[in-house]
A and B are shown apart, each in its own frame.
Chain A
Amino acid sequence: MNSPSAVLTRRMAIYEQFHQISRWGDAFDRDDSPNTGSSAIVQVDVGNKAGYISCDQVEHSRSDQETNKPTDKIQRRLAQNREAARKCRIRKKAYVQELESSRLKLAQLEQELERARQQGIYISSASDSGYFGLSGAVNPGISAFEMEYGHWVEVQDKQVCELRNALQAHITDIELQILVETGLNHYCNLFRMKADAAKVDVFYLSSGLWRTSAERFFHWIGGFRPSELLHVVISHIEPLTDQQQLEVCHLRQSSQQAEDALSQGIEKLQHNLAQNVASDFSWGNYGAQMAVATDVLEAFEGFVNQADHLREQTLLQMVRVLTTHQAARALLALGEYLHRLRALSSLWASHPR
């Protein structure tokens, strides 16, 4: 028997619940019958299943109980819902706090990583191979190059030690010649690796990101300056015969001239590209843009390849001009020099300002 007063009480109880959850004033206003009213309650999900009280239970209990009992049930249900909602809010707050602190930690890690990269630490990991390229995507060809280069450096350091020991031990010229040939071949391998990498991503190669910061400091079109080679080794290969003096002088001059020519070519390429990008005519439709992009890419690849070719030729000619013993000393000096540059990079990285 639902007396009007009972209905009123129930409606008030239902309204209390709605008020707490602050939803669906409409549903309440529309309903006259407490049954449909309670079904509206059912649809309100506090997000806490433990505190959820099913409509069936409510109706069942209501049909069973007398009018004085339902009030208690309703009160109990309301209290349970309040408790559930409170617990839910606490859990949510804890979760959000956890998210916030994780976000801060992630930002910190990213900063550290960026700092380390800029300072030239060779970062590689099994999963991502350390290369994100200019497009932000991992390029397998470049990852392979980075791994190969890491291995190349290890072998290089070993060869430098071998040369040092050999020179101190005063081995025969023939044995020394073999070491010199091995050293030269090792450099030629590097140039071949670079040529393959240039086909994959020439801008990555020329940026020198795959090298340490001190090496990058001296970079010229993707590697060391050919003219620098002689400056580095000159004190280690003396004394020179008159003929050798002449040839070394010529090598110094010709490598410098070739270097300058390539530099001027690159400058012209930059100038042309700037003009094309700035011009509305050249940078017209997509087709025009693609033409500019392709032309410059091909031209730049050509220069990077010529620069490596020049490095190789300079190295080979230097060895040709020298005796076996002098050549060994030259290769030792060069390897030691590059090793020291890499060590310098580590110093810079471990002692930031």
Chain B
Amino acid sequence: MHCQTGSRGTYVPTSRTIAGDPLERIERLASENAVVIFSVSSCCMCHAIKRLFCGMGVNPTVYELDEDPRGKDMEKALMRLLGNSPAVPVVFIGGKLVGAMDRVMASHINGTLVPLLKQAGALWL
């Protein structure tokens, strides 16, 4: 199964230049796809989380914040949201925040990740 990883992913350039709240933008982007990952292209932990989803047969939508003009603000907003650094990687499934790498791994190990993915339509039996 071909997996979208790479630095471009499905980067969606917005033509809207309203000075919107970065958190709102994050939530909007997160709700547009089943699995959304906010990442930084040079970050290796982000690479690992992308590989994890691809290994499960999931096709995540990846936003590389270092390639987004408003990426810096979004990074700060994510840091505030998660309560710590680093800001990335962060995973949303079905529009809802799952968390950073440790949360994602823990939920995969304890068996709650797969049902969540199926529910969001990212995985089919």
Chain A positions near chain B (C-beta within 8 angstroms): 247, 250-251, 254-255, 257-258, 260-262, 264-266, 268-269, 272, 299, 302-303, 306, 309-310, 313-314, 317, 320
Contacts and interface: CB of A to CB of B under 8 A. Distances in A.
B6 interface: no
B15 interface: no
Contact of A260 (B43, B47, B51, B110): B51
Given A302-B45, A309-B105, A313-B105, A261 B52 contact: yes
B55 A262 contact: no
B42 A272 contact: yes
Given A260-B55, A306-B102, A266 B109 contact: no
Contact residues on B (Cβ < 8 Å of other chain), bracket: 20 to 34
B49 A261 contact: yes
22 contacts: A254-B111, A257-B52, A257-B56, A258-B109, A261-B49, A265-B45, A266-B44, A268-B44, A268-B47, A299-B44, A299-B45, A302-B45, A303-B45, A306-B48, A306-B102, A306-B105, A309-B102, A310-B105, A310-B109, A313-B109, A313-B110, A317-B110
Given A257-B56, A260-B52, 7 more contacts: A251-B111, A261-B55, A265-B47, A268-B48, A303-B44, A306-B102, A309-B106
Nearest to A314: B109
| A-B CB proximity, top 3 nearest | A265-B48, A261-B52, A269-B44
Contacts of B105: 258, 306, 309-310, 313
B19 to A, nearest CB: 31
Residue of A264, A272, A303 ringed by the most chain B CB atoms within 10 A:
A264
Interface string B97-125: 00001100110111101100000000000
A313 B106 contact: yes
B48 A264 contact: yes
Contacts of A320: 110
A299 B47 CA distance: 12
